[in-house]
Amino acid sequence: MTSPYLFVYGTLKSDACNPNANNLHQNAQLLGSAKWQGALYLVRNYPGAVRSTNGSEHVLGEIWKLNDPETLLISLDEYEECAPRSPKPHEYIRSLEPVHFEVEIVKAWVYIYNLDIDNLKKIESGNFINENQILIRRKNEDIRR
């Protein structure tokens, strides 16, 4: 039996609009905001989260309960490039991790970035959507100047 819970922190969140996010949103229930002990990086136009031993570092995201975990995780593994047929090394790995949700800790699947982070920009806030909005606002301000 697989865990029915998935922690998302980027392009699959409830405010994301793309085919893979839509697939998740139609086949799972959003339980609410959550956080996972880790660090967040900007890969290109999407985030990558890695484990952290620093207890004050957290990635902010959401917990979803999957209707049919085994089926949905197959398609999400394809999207996150960690399916068996995905090129190696895989960009992400899917791992069952302790995630802080409300007053409890839930074991949830987390897609963890699996490539080198040395040249990536760290998202200090741990919140990809906020960081993305700041970058978009700065670009718009530069265009107006």
Angle at CA 95, nearest 5°, toward 132 and 33?
Answer: 45
Residues 92-114 have pLDDT tens digits of: 999 999 999 999 999 999 999 99
Q: Between 19-26 and 69-79, two packed helices, what is the crossing angle to 10 degrees? A: 170
Residues 28-50 have pLDDT tens digits of: 999 999 999 999 999 988 999 99
Q: Quote the CA–CA distance of 143 and 63 in Å, as a whole number.
A: 36
State pTM to two decimals. 0.88
Backbone angles phi, psi at 96, to 5 degrees: -80, 115
Superfamily of domain 5-144 in the CATH hierarchy: Gamma-glutamyl cyclotransferase-like (3.10.490.10)
Kindly report the length of the chain: 145
Residues 55-81 have pLDDT tens digits of: 999 999 999 999 999 999 999 999 999
Sign (positive/negative) of CA torsion 43, 6, 30, 104?
A: negative
